[in-house]
Amino acid sequence: MRFTHILRRRGSRGFTLVEIIIVAALISLFSGLATFGVQQMLNNSKLKAVIGETRQVGSSLIFAHQDVGFYPKIGYLMHTADLIDNRFGWDRVDSIGLAISLNKGQYTYNNWRGPYFAASPSRNQLSARFKSIVTMNLHPTYQGYENSMPWPADQWGNPYVLYLFKYDPLEDRWQFIETLGEEPNFFAAVVSYGPNGVPGSPDGSYSLEDLRGARLFNQDDTRVPVFDDLEPGEYTDEIGNPSRRDVYSLDPSGIGMVDPGSDDIIYSID
């Protein structure tokens, strides 16, 4: 009888509704804090990786510039001279699509010491979306050559880009360089557009879509890591809101690449 009585006493006790709610709330709170902490660690890890990668791409561009006398497109940095000569050609090697003469192409081939850069193969294999190497469709297209090229990408799956600006005293502002071999005396940098994937950051003046149209590449489907390089004339066209030139700084009417509040990662090579 005594044993039965003990069982009944223990069986009669249980958690009240208030106690269950409190326990559930504590579990939810601690789970949220843990998830937030993990997400912060992941974001910090990506940021540090991109800072290191922009430096590597920037150093590779400097070495290539020393060899050939101009800054090439970033995708070309990953290849040897013979591979470029056979698969892609030298006509589109310049960073902003300027035409390469036959003599200049031969000189570039003779002095090219690439590959200058190698992307991380592990991230390309492990991540289904944020690849370390994406596909860039080259423009203009040429018959007899491949018109798409592997291209280094940041931790958010967007291609690294190169900005080369000169100062225009007539307009008292910056402009993209327009002559092969011309040195950017205002701003030269490798840029990752950061977590938001656009130059600068949206604010009351410009939306995410406005800034997406001002990038140095195009992308038809954001779910597929395939991008379109710009046509030679598109660097200086005033297409988009704002233009590709103006996103350098949008002060005072927006957040540009170098303005406070921008999430872009910039590594200067000048």
Q: Where are the alpha helices (DSSP H) in the chain?
A: 2-12, 17-68, 81-83, 102-111, 121-126, 208-212
Q: 21 in a domain, yes or no? A: no
* Residue 270 contacts residue 210 (beta carbons within 8 Å): no
Higher-confidence position of 116 and 121:
116
Is 270 in a helix, a strand, or coil?
Answer: coil
Q: 167 in a domain, yes or no? A: yes
The pLDDT score that the predictor gives to residue 123 is 63
Phi, psi of 72, rounded to the nearest 5 degrees = -85, 170
Q: 247 in a domain, yes or no? A: yes
What mean pLDDT is predicted for residues 101-110?
90
Residues 6+ apart with CB under 8 A from 232: 96, 97, 98, 99, 139, 140
Q: 241 in a domain, yes or no? A: yes
At 186-202, the pLDDT tens digits run 999 999 999 999 999 99
Q: 33 in a domain, yes or no? A: no
Checking if the pLDDT of 134 tops 60, the result is: yes
* Angle, alpha carbons 263-269-270 (nearest 5°): 120
The pLDDT score that the predictor gives to residue 6 is 45
Instruction: Encode burial over 215-246: b for 16+ CB neighbours within 10 A, e otherwise.
Output: bbbebeeeeebebbbbebebbeeeebebebbb
Higher-confidence position of 150 and 11:
150
Domain ranges, residue 249? 48-268
Of 207, 198, 181, residue with least CA distance to 247:
198
Of 109, 29, 30, residue with least CA distance to 68:
109
Checking if the pLDDT of 251 tops 80, the result is: no
Of 27, 73, 45, residue with least CA distance to 195:
45
Q: 194 in a domain, yes or no? A: yes
The pLDDT score that the predictor gives to residue 12 is 53
Higher-confidence position of 147 and 36:
147
Q: 9 in a domain, yes or no? A: no
What are the angstrom distances between the C-alpha of 82 and each of 29, 108, 111, 114, 245?
A: 59, 11, 12, 10, 34
39 pLDDT band (50/70/90 cuts)? low
* Number of alpha carbons in the 13 Å side-chain half-sphere of residue 180: 17
Checking if the pLDDT of 239 tops 50, the result is: yes
Q: 16 in a domain, yes or no? A: no
Domains held by the chain: number: 1
* Angle, alpha carbons 90-95-99 (nearest 5°): 50
| Mean confidence (pLDDT) of the chain | 86
The pLDDT score that the predictor gives to residue 1 is 45
* Residue 98 contacts residue 180 (beta carbons within 8 Å): yes
Identify residue 223 by its one-letter amino acid code: R
What mean pLDDT is predicted for residues 264-268?
97
Checking if the pLDDT of 26 tops 70, the result is: yes
The pLDDT score that the predictor gives to residue 32 is 67
**To the nearest whole percent, how much of the chain has pLDDT over 70?**
86
pTM: 0.83
